């Protein structure tokens, strides 16, 4: 399988949302159609608990007509490389040009819960990509190779993403990381960061929602170390994060203000930005996405 494929055509802005893996299927189908109608270019979703990434990708592709679908990310500990290559081939052939395979090493707690030892993540990803490239697959191939992007934060994984795959999908990152990632990857690698947003103009309420989102991520070494590498200190990251960290990682305010942060990512070198709307509700935030679409699309 070719893993350094052409850049995906996802548009400038997509949607990244947890409820796609946790909400009832009827709600997921309705939300996917609604988000497509709003004009967003791609649907992104995680794989750590909830629906399996390839099954959900097929559900979303079958329910929609044009929007692109990308796991952000498919956990490499959840399936072997041959299975991932076969899944990409099947989805790419069935829905030409609409599927991008996001791959990542996940985190020690998630990997441990699956019964694996989280060790040598960079080497593990290199071995996984080698195995995907050498996979012998039977069946019809896609019209064009399926793009592969890596969840990448640090310089070595970003370099691997640029050298071996289509590009990178950094998660839980400020605009300053997009600047860093583009410098590391060079001008050609596809760069598609996720950006958490809170559509709320009251600072106290916006930051409270943001901290509720950030607390669990700041306890994970990958994300914490990434922010330390960007110049913050441990004291900045404790207790849900200082105001400065919160304001950098989660864009909040009016739709126009959030649009400025999205524009800043693009100016820093992002090709595509997936927005994750943080609310108090557990469902797909369709009203907020619709309001933001009027400013971002």
171-203 residue pLDDT tens: 999 999 999 999 999 999 999 999 999 999 999
The stretches in the chain having pLDDT less than 50 are none
**What is the model's pTM?**
0.96
Phi, psi of 230 (to 5 degrees): -80, -5
Displacement of CA 198 from its chain's centroid (Å): 17
The dotted CATH code for 13-196+257-296 is: 3.20.20.30
Q: What is the pLDDT of residue 113?
A: 65
Other beta carbons within 10 Å of 211? 17
- Three-state secondary structure string covering 76-107: CCCCCHHHHHHHHHHHHHHCCCCECEEEECCC
Q: What is the pLDDT of residue 116?
A: 65
Q: What is the pLDDT of residue 118?
A: 72
The Cα 75–Cα 64 span in angstroms is: 24
214-226 residue pLDDT tens: 999 999 999 999 9
Q: What is the pLDDT of residue 123?
A: 96
The Cα 82–Cα 132 span in angstroms is: 6
Q: What is the pLDDT of residue 6?
A: 83
Which of 210, 207, 221, 200 lies closest to 153 in space, CA to CA? 221
């Amino acid at each position: 399988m070719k893993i350094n494929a052409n850049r995906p055509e996802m548009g400038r802005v997509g949607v990244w949302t947890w409820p796609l893996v946790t909400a009832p299927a009827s709600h997921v189908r309705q939300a996917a159609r609604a988000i497509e109608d709003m004009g967003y270019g791609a649907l992104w979703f995680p794989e750590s608990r909830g629906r399996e990434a390839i099954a959900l990708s097929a559900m979303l592709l079958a329910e929609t007509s044009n929007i692109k679908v990308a796991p952000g990310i498919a956990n490499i500990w959840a399936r072997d490389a041959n299975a991932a290559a076969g899944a990409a081939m099947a989805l790419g052939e069935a829905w030409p040009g609409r599927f991008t395979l996001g791959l990542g090493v996940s985190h020690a707690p998630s990997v441990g819960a699956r019964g694996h030892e989280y060790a040598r993540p960079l080497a593990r990803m290199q071995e996984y990509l080698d195995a995907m490239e050498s996979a012998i697959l039977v069946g019809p191939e896609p019209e064009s190779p399926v793009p592969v992007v890596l969840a990448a934060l640090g310089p070595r994984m970003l370099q691997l993403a640029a050298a071996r795959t289509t590009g990178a999908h950094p998660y839980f990152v400020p605009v300053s990381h997009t600047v860093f990632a583009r410098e590391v990857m060079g001008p050609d690698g596809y760069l598609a960061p996720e950006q958490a947003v809170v559509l709320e103009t009251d600072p106290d309420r916006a930051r409270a929602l943001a901290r509720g989102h950030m607390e669990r991520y700041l306890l994970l070494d990958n994300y914490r170390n990434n922010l330390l590498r960007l110049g913050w200190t441990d004291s900045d990251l404790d207790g849900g994060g200082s105001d400065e960290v919160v304001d950098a990682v989660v864009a909040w305010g009016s739709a126009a203000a959030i649009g400025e942060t999205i524009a800043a990512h693009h100016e820093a070198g992002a090709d595509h930005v997936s927005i994750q709307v943080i609310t108090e509700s557990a469902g797909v935030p369709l009203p907020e996405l619709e309001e933001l679409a009027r400013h971002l699309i």
